[in-house]
Chain A
């Protein structure tokens, strides 16, 4: 009898023993977790030796790096671009191979300047036998600027004539480098950095452009060189790069002359070290406080780190004091300057040692009584406290939103008191729509280069009366709801059109900025109209009439990304995207912006010509005349997150 006859029962029907319950999809939450669990197979141990253990010994078991997961990033898209393996950009492999060669050359230059010249033949292998190169330290330098502190020299651009290539053959490269080294002779502690910012690949030929930065100490000052080199490579078997031509495109050398060190010297310790918090709080990175953090530890809602600063004389002794904002769970600190220049921490006595996440604060006289009151953007809104001579008294807290960032005060309606503008980043911090990709909103709603799903900024009109500390939300009534859902990192007031009232610039992340023109207390966003949109990752804004033409100009921090530059300018980049989108994305890698206020109050972007684009991953930037020559210079604070394990930079 055949097996498939009725006799043989295959248990495939829905009998008791067969239960095949399909999984019904019920769990769908995509959460904005910033930290993924860390599972590791390889554990390493290291000993922490605490202060009170006198006879501590160095770790006997040295730790190696645990395998961490590749965490999603705040700027996930850039990271995707930044990762050559992930994106499959062949040119990125070239760029990284070229960078290795430059590092070898960098080491060579350092050795040339040190007493022990070991391993000097290392760079001969880099050049091809038919190598040709220009001078890397130009013959003809022109003094572009000179005062008692700084001397700036630049190469004189050759006119028309063909560039001479005096260095030839395999040894030519070494001679060119040696020639460059002569300009550095006597310099100590030399530091060299190469950044490859363009790559082109054509068959077996590649061209790279790179910034070369050399800094060293000289007697009574420093020497600093910035150059752009263009390099032609041939790609041999095994993808080996050989340098065929090396051309100096651009050269600038700065020498400073300040007795006993650089112009700026870090004197923090002498100012602050008498306070306990100096060592306990300010010698520890923000990362430290997030160690061992269960999500509920401090209710930490934000991890970028945002220690805002405010300066004013809060106790009326004619010395300026400092208020330092701190993240969630860390107390804000007020330092009173003493006559000897040191500062005494008094935040507890002054009742402003708030623990809630505080992004920024302003010290201004809100009630026109001659002392400095305090306004702070803190978890939940804007807090306002009056100066009572020896302490601050909280007068009101305005629930503007959970994710307030910057504050900027001015008397926008010219009624004799200062009003406050407060910016927000996320629309709703709590259980927000942030995605695991690290982008700030759900993918469908979020457009990287033109995001419009951020928080709302607020204009708070000062209506302080005799006894009441009222602030009225005038955002709507003054027309400031226009374009008010961007991710606003910074704002600054200025009368850009010289009509006697204060206009407002707002720098936004992920897209366009706003310039609100004040028309008798009513605002209109004219950023597009006057050419001041600067669509990129706006982090900071500062005003100055840097060119002394009587009109206030703008400097805006963004991100400069060498990887972004390398890729975004290649024809293959986002091939199918519309030209406008592509340009916008390219713009994101270009860096900081100097907008010159021209006649008729229109702005033109002079960043490139002025050479002030490269601010790296920039945050705060300020105009300030550092050498007292009457002309405002530009300062830039930058860098996102530094950890021990390096991943390079953008």
Chain B
């Protein structure tokens, strides 16, 4: 929200309500004078401090805003300004504090006509008169929102009244009645009075002629978003790349020992060209300062890309001989995703440049042109002094508060920023980079559960299991009830294939968080590996009940069910998964297999084709589709698929050789039979299965039969029978009988 382009309760106008309690006709209702008062600026207002800044007898305002202008001094032009009294109290510094904060001041009026004190009397219980009698105010330090107003207590004086006396209740309990210098017939005229504790006398400040130079003027906030944005902490950026003029992708990297300024420009942007020119003019200085420049054209992000000859023409005319190339949309997007490029108006500024240090760490962003002198200044690398770097990052001056408490807090804040950055890297899939940042976070905040958790889970994914385990164990000593830590530790054990230990962690985690479907899912995986199929199924069921759209669990349950010999049930899961994730190729593959097993040949063919479209080339997929084609007697396509399968993977595919050889040897359709080829493939199938797999031997025999070498066929078929399981022996025997009758085997045509 803060970084995005939308307002949120923005452009709201400040309000002002006039107290009308003095007038019975107003019935206690304030009047809305937001507009009439002139205070209704549409600022994102924050603090308001009240002060008679110019000492002209009315209350002015200082206001602060989140947006620009960030300060407003609102001068009060009240024509009634003479009718007021301001009081500054000075405590004795013993019984009450010197500033007299907490003192209560009571102004007692007398009517101008009668000069008599306004003592409460029966008829004065009527609101209009009673409440005119006195005004109380307390001196406070700090109120409103983040504001401290003036210590001068300000009293407006109604036109018909005089101030008869001033009563002060000092903090600590002493009460003191003040008169003016004139003594008993006291009547305070408008003005500013200093009341010193125990003096009894209100001393009027002499009016000084101040020759004020205050005038109303419209503030015009700076609309441009240009400037230098330096980092307080340098961090490694994710890999960035540009395109050479010939269209080749190249990484953006600082050369050894040099800083690199990556400057983005467009051919239609005059200030870009001017900047390039200035850099070109100072080439020697820049190079000898150890700064390299890479100028990337953004032409083409919206309009036509710049061609090599055009670019050369422009750059040569400027005398610019540093490296150059094109910025790609991917590069701009990456900078945006890192928050490096953003504006309140959601425009990309031009020109802009980013400075990387000699270790390719991000040092600064320049929005708008940057002067060469500034570049040369900024290219000094800095050390690891956090407070100093913090100061250097400010373009407005200022100093770090260096107290240890402040320093520690700044380190924590830096770690917090690093954590967010690490998280961002993690989300972008840059795990190793994220892990390095998490490590630095943990140096500052070794006990942070969140950092330990993030770090450990990322290390787990990176396979640094021992390190992850140490962090998780530490976390669990801090918080033994962290189900997340137990879950992740379970994952670590699972990756180490310590299944029982993993299961133990999941059991505990489930006790802590019995409604977390991820835990059931993970335990189900462990149970699957432990071959506790029924337990695994129960866990998958639990996960899916808790999270009905848990497609990963549905998919895994489908696999399990298939393995448990229940393809028709598995099919439902795969259907659901595909409905939810129509681009998930693996689901088509598995559903194809299930459908194939259930004899749904046409449908399985369709699934395998989808899987082939969605998944990277895989021998298995072509093999499976080849089988489906074979079953559908589409032998030509089947052979093509088998051959493709072999193209994808020769070495580890005895099944494919076998299937192809079998088809070529026994196909009912003579057009597709090819005994010689079948023999060749069958031999490879046998070779790859160490001549001990009865199926391959059976195929080899069939191939010999097809080429008419029945003796060989009989020999190999006998060996196949020897290796075959009992239940398959009868079928193999039938074929042996055929060969003995010198007949080749043919698959039936139905």
Contacts and interface: CB of A to CB of B under 8 A. Distances in A.
Interface string B411-427: 01111111111011011
A306 B220 contact: no
A144 B599 CA distance: 90
Contacts of B226: 48-51
Given A56-B270, A411-B171, A647-B6, A284 B68 contact: yes
B394 to A, nearest CB: 6
7 contacts: A28-B457, A34-B2, A44-B302, A306-B146, A356-B409, A369-B98, A629-B156
Contacts of B342: 38, 290-293
Given A22-B556, A272-B73, A637 B410 contact: no
Contacts, number: 928
A190 to B, nearest CB: 11
A650 to B, nearest CB: 5
Q: Considering residues A144, A325, A359, which has the most beta carbons from chain B within 10 angstroms of its beta carbon?
A: A144
B552 to A, nearest CB: 6
A381 interface: yes
Contact of B398 (A330, A417, A611): A330
Given A331-B397, A610-B30, A611-B29, A494 B140 contact: yes
B412 A430 contact: yes
Nearest to B399: A353
A541 interface: yes
Q: Considering residues B46, B61, B213, B394, which has the most beta carbons from chain A within 10 angstroms of its beta carbon?
A: B46
Contact of B586 (A20, A500, A622): A20
Contact of A416 (B95, B365, B450, B460): B95
Contacts of A632: 19
A615 B31 contact: no
Given A63-B348, A145-B26, A24 B495 contact: yes
Interface stretch (B279-287, B316-324, B572-580, B615-623): B615-623
Contacts of A258: 77-79
Contacts of B368: 48-50
A161 interface: no
B34 A224 contact: yes
Contact of A630 (B33, B161, B620): B161
A35 interface: yes
Contact of B147 (A43, A310, A615, A636): A310
B695 A264 contact: no
A331 B1 contact: no
Interface string A80-98: 0000000000000000000
Q: Considering residues A74, A254, A356, A502, which has the most beta carbons from chain B within 10 angstroms of its beta carbon?
A: A356
A633 B406 contact: no
Contacts of B140: 408, 410, 492-494, 543
A145 B745 CA distance: 113
B491 A26 contact: yes
Given A1-B745, A3-B627, A283-B69, 12 more contacts: A17-B653, A145-B31, A284-B222, A296-B414, A431-B415, A494-B140, A500-B169, A543-B140, A620-B47, A637-B45, A641-B2, A649-B7
Contacts of A474: none
Contact of A628 (B15, B157, B274): B157
Contact of A9 (B14, B59, B658): B658
Interface stretch (A199-207, A399-407, A449-457): A399-407
A643 B7 contact: yes
Interface in B341-363: 341-352, 362
Interface string A44-82: 111111111101110011010110111111100001000
B6 A383 contact: no
Given A17-B652, A20-B559, A649-B10, A550 B134 contact: yes
A361 B148 contact: yes
Interface string A509-534: 00000000000000000000000000
A379 interface: yes
A293 B229 contact: yes
Contact of B6 (A68, A143, A549, A550): A68
Contacts of A378: 401, 406
B61 A635 contact: yes
A171 B56 CA distance: 53
A307 B65 contact: yes
Given A308-B146, A630-B161, A646 B11 contact: yes
Nearest to B633: A3
A348 B144 CA distance: 28
Given A24-B495, A152-B20, A48 B662 contact: no
B367 A356 contact: no
A483 interface: no
B333 interface: yes
Contacts of A409: 101, 141-142
Contacts of B219: 266, 268-269, 283
B209 to A, nearest CB: 9
Interface stretch (B178-186, B239-247, B518-526, B708-716): B518-526
Interface residues of B, number: 276
A282 B36 CA distance: 26
B214 A270 contact: yes
A272 B71 contact: yes
A71 B40 CA distance: 29
A581 interface: no
A184 interface: no
Interface stretch (A125-133, A338-346, A572-580): A338-346
A626 B5 contact: no
Contacts of A611: 17, 29-32
B302 A325 contact: no
A620 B396 contact: no
A413 B494 CA distance: 62
Interface stretch (A101-109, A175-183, A215-223, A233-241): A215-223
B257 interface: no
Q: Considering residues A8, A69, A319, which has the most beta carbons from chain B within 10 angstroms of its beta carbon?
A: A8
Contacts of A25: 487, 491, 518, 521-522
Interface string B6-48: 1111111111111111110111111111111111111111111
Interface stretch (B230-238, B306-314, B376-384, B669-677): B230-238
A643 B146 contact: no
Interface string A592-617: 00000000000000100111101111
Contacts of B458: 27
B477 interface: no
A4 B599 CA distance: 9
Interface stretch (A116-124, A273-281, A465-473): A273-281
A37 B340 contact: no
Interface in A526-548: 539-548
Contacts of B33: 150, 152, 224, 254, 256, 633
Contacts of B365: 292
Nearest to A221: B36
B67 A642 contact: yes
Interface string B148-162: 111110111111010
A606 B28 contact: yes
A564 to B, nearest CB: 11
Interface string A277-317: 10111111111101111111111110111111111100000
Q: Considering residues B95, B161, B396, which has the most beta carbons from chain A within 10 angstroms of its beta carbon?
A: B396
B369 interface: yes
Q: Considering residues A40, A293, A295, A311, which has the most beta carbons from chain B within 10 angstroms of its beta carbon?
A: A295
A355 to B, nearest CB: 4
Contacts of A284: 68, 70, 221-222
A638 interface: yes
A627 B333 contact: no
Nearest to B654: A9
Given A296-B418, A331-B397, A630-B135, A291 B98 contact: no
A159 interface: no
A35 B347 contact: no
A438 B9 CA distance: 16
A266 B68 contact: no
